[in-house]
Amino acid sequence: MKPEMITLKHGDTTIKMPAASLAKLALASFAQVLPPAANVQPIYPHTVPELGAYWPGQGGLNGGLVTARGEVPAHYLIIAAKDAGSHEWGGRGRESQASSKFDGFANTVTLLLESDHPAAKAAAYYSTDGHDNFYLPAAAELYHCWLNVPELFNKDTWYWSSSQRAAYGAFYMYFGDGYQGYSGKSFELRVRPVRRLFI
């Protein structure tokens, strides 16, 4: 079988060669132009610590990778190394716009703008390792913590989420058994700040 031939013309010069040979030549020239894969830097160049381990310089512990959802890109959830005390959720008897089950950051911003929300304020005012972008996690983010690193939380108490359920109640998480429920906004429950490390 006769090989397929390609004819290339440039000015007064004409080259005729088998198509397979031209393909090999093109691939070889691309390999010289492009850097080797080993030289490509990852988006986040540092080693990712094990789940539950301290992440140097990030203000807390690795809570695991959270997949992209809506307008929030994929990120690691960094969990503060300690609780920020016990506080009321606040705003009892008033409807809040902080109703996202997934976006604790947006909920916390909303709660701070509405004022009189001690739990959200305690989380937002938490600062360490030069990071001051902590927030009160949403219900799904607390559940994410229970799935990945329940050992980081006290088992004999309840933790507020930033997700409102109704005018008189908001969602919480009990890490003893992974139960999620809701409680009156005037009760004082534990607060554990979190922040996002985008990848």
CA 147 – CA 104 distance, rounded (Å): 17
- DSSP per-residue string spanning 5-28: EEEEEETTEEEEEEHHHHHHHHHH
CA 89 – CA 102 distance, rounded (Å): 17
* Side chain identity at residue 18, one-letter code: P
| pLDDT computed for residue 199 by the predictor | 86
Question: At 80, phi and psi to the nearest 5?
Answer: -55, 145
Q: Token digits for 108? A: 């916390």
| pLDDT computed for residue 24 by the predictor | 57
pLDDT in tens, the chain (199 residues): 566 766 656 666 666 656 665 555 554 444 444 444 444 444 455 689 999 999 999 999 999 999 999 999 999 999 999 999 999 999 999 999 999 999 999 999 999 999 899 999 999 999 999 999 999 999 999 999 999 999 999 999 999 999 999 999 999 999 999 999 999 999 999 999 999 999 8
- DSSP per-residue string spanning 127-181: -BTTB---BPPPHHHHHHHHHH-GGGS-SSSEEEEEEEEETTEEEEEETTTTEEE
How buried is 52 (Cβ within 10 angstroms: 0-12 exposed, 13-18 middle, 19+ buried)? Answer: middle
| pLDDT computed for residue 128 by the predictor | 96
| pLDDT computed for residue 195 by the predictor | 98
CA 98 – CA 107 distance, rounded (Å): 4
Three-state DSSP class for residue 120: helix
End-to-end CA distance of the chain, in Å?
53
Total-model pTM: 0.77
